[in-house]
């Protein structure tokens, strides 16, 4: 059994700017405050928060959608990667970012929901 979460926010940027920042290591670092590496190709590897987060790009629709395998250093040994889907849509004030993080280790959903809000959405704004 696994946990799933969905969170959403509006960011003061265009969908393409958010997409480029999410996938670009230097921009990702700047928007969150933690060191990151990035890739803009399917299969490309990324890291975030000084290596605490790792994964690969699974599906990319420029300016619209990002799907990644995603895990933190806190995942139990042997636990599979979770799936992260980011949907970007134009909205009043910029871009509505809707984030779905599925296949999280059982019981961890609330922790990661708070983490996305505190460590991503707040600094990104």
Say whether pLDDT at 123 is over 90: no
Percentage of the chain lying above the pLDDT 70 cut? 100
Choice among 26-30, 63-67, 72-76 with the minimum mean pLDDT: 26-30
- Residue-wise pLDDT for 35-70, tens only, equals 999 999 999 999 999 999 999 999 999 999 999 999
3 state SS of 62: coil
d(CA 115, CA 24): 20
49: helix, coil or strand? coil
CB 5 within 8 A of CB 105: no
Beta strand 2-11 with 45-48: parallel, antiparallel or unpaired?
unpaired
Cα–Cα distances in angstroms (integers) from residue 74 to residues 96, 105, 112, in the given order: 29, 10, 11
pLDDT at position 97 over 90: yes
The residue with tokens 């890739």 is: 39
Q: What percent of the chain has pLDDT over 90?
A: 89
pTM for this model (two decimals): 0.94
Radius of gyration of the chain (CA): 13
Could you tell me which CATH class the domain 2-124 is placed in? alpha beta
pLDDT tier at 9, thresholds 50, 70, 90: very high
E-strand stretches of 1-125: 2-11, 45-48, 53-61, 65-72, 82-91, 94-105
């Amino acid at each position: 059994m696994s946990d799933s979460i969905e969170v959403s926010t509006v960011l003061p940027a265009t969908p393409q700017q958010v997409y480029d920042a999410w996938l670009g290591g230097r921009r990702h670092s700047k928007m969150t405050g933690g060191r990151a590496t990035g890739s803009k190709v399917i299969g490309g590897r990324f890291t975030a928060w000084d290596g605490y987060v790792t994964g690969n790009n699974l599906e990319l629709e420029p300016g619209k959608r990002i799907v990644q395998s995603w895990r933190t250093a806190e995942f139990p040994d042997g636990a599979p990667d979770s799936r992260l889907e980011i949907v970007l849509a134009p909205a009043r004030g910029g871009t509505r970012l809707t984030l779905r993080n599925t296949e999280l280790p059982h019981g961890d959903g609330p922790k990661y929901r708070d983490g996305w809000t505190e460590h991503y959405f707040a600094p990104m704004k």
